[in-house]
Amino acid sequence: MAPESDRQRALVAAFADVAVAAGYGQVISPIFEDVRVFHRLGEANDVVTKEMYDFEDKDGRHLALRPELTASIVRAFVQHRPRPPWKAWYEGPQFRHEKPQAGRYRQFTQIGVEVLGPDDPHVDVEVIALAWRFYESLGLSRIRLLLNTLGDPDCRPSYLVALETYLNDHRGDLSEQSQATLATNPLRVLDSKREPDQAVIAGAPLMVDHLSDDAGAHFSAVTDGLQTLGIPYEISPRLVRGLDYYVKTTFEFAGDALESAQNALGGGGRYDDLAEQLGGPATPGIGFALGVDRILLACDAEGVFPAPPTEPQVFVVDVTGGEQAMALTDQLRQAGLRADRAWGNRSMKAQMKVADRSGAAVAVLIGEGELANGTATVRDLRGDTGQQEVSRTDLVATLQQRFAST
Ligand code: HAM
């Protein structure tokens, strides 16, 4: 609720401006989809196996509340076939069945972009830069960009064999949970934060050391591009991300002002095979999603991006019956001012109390005298400029001028 909701709205609007200025068009996609759309996120992945809210509808269709939007956007691409390069931005609620805690919710809001079409590494740079500049525009400074590559179909399989062999050799030293993960999704073992796993993970073979020429050249072009733009990054060779569709570039933004368990303020990467897996033409893709709830927590922690002003600028106090207030608030709102009034034809004192509490900067008083003179009294509620009687014909323009710069 307000004022937090006003802040969230302002944040999404700021992101929309950044995305539209870079040529992205909004996609508004459904809250639920056929569950098969999300199976591509990974059959052995927590988001799909444990965290998805899925259900059967009255016709027996198996549906799921979306846990993220990349799969939905790619499904929309496959269905509607917009001409590549297709640049989409989005915002909206996502649902994951998690244990709620600060910064981790079952319903949370993401903003993000996806680009379908080019596999040019400069697209990776554009996408990463968009998120980085957005964080900067909010005033956040304690953000780190973590960057990795997950290779491509030429080098990933042999790397996975090397990783699996290594992890199996050290199986006994892994936690019980990681032993189970090893059986289904070895790459995800690298993501474990459990203490007993750390020594094994530290010695594990790394994808960056097994890259094909093409994947290596792609990654170098991305890091070169980020350097050209002056965007600092840390190579994070064990960053594997929680969804299985990624290839080549992957990244995450860590918010150092937040506790480390929930400090991922956003993440993304390339998913060059997803369109084909969803039944479309082979079309490379890349994008990111940022967690709005967590960004706002980071803004709190860094003391930036306050809620936008929403209190009325003008509060109309009408003690002549209320019709003047009705007409004047309508006029002021049409002129673009935030205006409010009191109800119930109460006394001047009672209405002034409401005006004060509303946070308005000025009250406009209309009593019998003003009504007879065709004027209104403008009273400063916050400063000490006192009050002045203004002709009703000049009133709206006078107030507009007063608030022109706020
Ligand atoms: P993800 O890393 O699962 O990626 O989520 C992106 C961001 O959403 C996280 O970094 C975090 O800020 C926020 N988030 C995730 N789960 C929660 C939660 N339970 N409560 C609060 N915030 C949360 C994706 O969703 C991919 N679709 C990103 C992407 C786009 N990759 C390519 N394109």
Which of these three, 276, 302, 328, is where a domain ends?
302
256/111 same-domain check: yes
Please state at what angle helix 292-302 crosses helix 4-21, rounded to 10 degrees: 110
CA 153 to ligand 1 center in whole angstroms: 24
Residue nearest atom 16 in ligand 1 by C-alpha distance = 104
Average pLDDT score over residue span 12-16: 98
* Residue 110 in contact with ligand 1 by CB distance below 6 A: yes
Q: Is residue 264 part of a domain?
A: yes
| Lowest-confidence region among 126-130, 221-225, 235-239 | 235-239
- Provide the pLDDT for residue 226: 98
Q: Is residue 248 part of a domain?
A: yes
* Residue 291 in contact with ligand 1 by CB distance below 6 A: yes
- Provide the pLDDT for residue 175: 94
Q: Is residue 175 part of a domain?
A: no
Report which ligand 1 atom has the smallest distance to the Cα of 271.
Answer: 32
* Residue 269 in contact with ligand 1 by CB distance below 6 A: yes
Report which ligand 1 atom has the smallest distance to the Cα of 106.
Answer: 19
- Provide the pLDDT for residue 396: 97
Query: Which pTM value belongs to this model?
Result: 0.93
- Provide the pLDDT for residue 242: 77
User: Residue 41 above 90 pLDDT?
Assistant: no
Q: Is residue 42 part of a domain?
A: yes
Which of these three, 302, 337, 367, is where a domain ends?
302
* Residue 287 in contact with ligand 1 by CB distance below 6 A: yes
Q: Write the pLDDT tens digit of every residue in 348-395.
A: 999 999 999 999 999 999 999 999 999 999 999 998 778 999 999 999
* Residue 268 in contact with ligand 1 by CB distance below 6 A: yes
88/33 same-domain check: yes
Q: Is residue 89 part of a domain?
A: yes
Report which ligand 1 atom has the smallest distance to the Cα of 252.
Answer: 10
Residue nearest atom 3 in ligand 1 by C-alpha distance = 242
- Provide the pLDDT for residue 81: 97
**pLDDT band with cut points at 50, 70 and 90 for residue 44:** low
Taking alpha carbons only, the member of 15, 310, 287 closest to residue 140 is 15
Query: What domain count does the chain have?
Result: 2
User: Residue 48 above 90 pLDDT?
Assistant: no
- Provide the pLDDT for residue 406: 63
Mutate to test the pocket of ligand 1, among 104, 236, 294, 296 (most ligand atoms within 8 A of CB): 294
- Provide the pLDDT for residue 76: 96
- Provide the pLDDT for residue 53: 95
Q: How far is CA 83 from the centre of its chain?
A: 26
Range of the domain at 36: 4-155+211-302
Mutate to test the pocket of ligand 1, among 46, 94, 140, 143 (most ligand atoms within 8 A of CB): 94
* Residue 265 in contact with ligand 1 by CB distance below 6 A: yes
CA 350 to ligand 1 center in whole angstroms: 49
User: Residue 165 above 90 pLDDT?
Assistant: yes
CA 96 to ligand 1 center in whole angstroms: 10
Q: Is residue 334 part of a domain?
A: yes
**Strand-pair category, 285-291 with 264-270:** antiparallel
**pLDDT band with cut points at 50, 70 and 90 for residue 170:** very high
136/268 same-domain check: yes
Mutate to test the pocket of ligand 1, among 38, 108, 246 (most ligand atoms within 8 A of CB): 108
247/387 same-domain check: no
Residue nearest atom 11 in ligand 1 by C-alpha distance = 291
Q: Write the pLDDT tens digit of every residue in 313-338.
A: 999 999 999 999 999 999 999 999 99
**CATH code, domain carrying 233:** 3.30.930.10
Which of these three, 238, 271, 302, is where a domain ends?
302
* Residue 42 in contact with ligand 1 by CB distance below 6 A: no
Q: Is residue 133 part of a domain?
A: yes
342/396 same-domain check: yes
CA 207 to ligand 1 center in whole angstroms: 23
Instruction: Report the mean per-residue pLDDT for the chain.
Output: 95
User: Residue 220 above 80 pLDDT?
Assistant: yes
- Provide the pLDDT for residue 152: 93
280/325 same-domain check: no
CA 406 to ligand 1 center in whole angstroms: 35
**pLDDT band with cut points at 50, 70 and 90 for residue 291:** very high
Average pLDDT score over residue span 158-171: 94
Q: Write the pLDDT tens digit of every residue in 241-275.
A: 878 889 999 999 999 999 888 899 999 999 999 99
42/136 same-domain check: yes
Taking alpha carbons only, the member of 237, 247, 174 closest to residue 209 is 237
Report which ligand 1 atom has the smallest distance to the Cα of 69.
Answer: 27
150/286 same-domain check: yes
131/277 same-domain check: yes
- Provide the pLDDT for residue 55: 95
**CATH code, domain carrying 320:** 3.40.50.800
User: Residue 40 above 90 pLDDT?
Assistant: no
CA 120 to ligand 1 center in whole angstroms: 24
User: Residue 285 above 80 pLDDT?
Assistant: yes
* Residue 92 in contact with ligand 1 by CB distance below 6 A: no
**pLDDT band with cut points at 50, 70 and 90 for residue 42:** confident
294/322 same-domain check: no
249/340 same-domain check: no
* Residue 289 in contact with ligand 1 by CB distance below 6 A: yes
Q: Is residue 307 part of a domain?
A: no
284/375 same-domain check: no
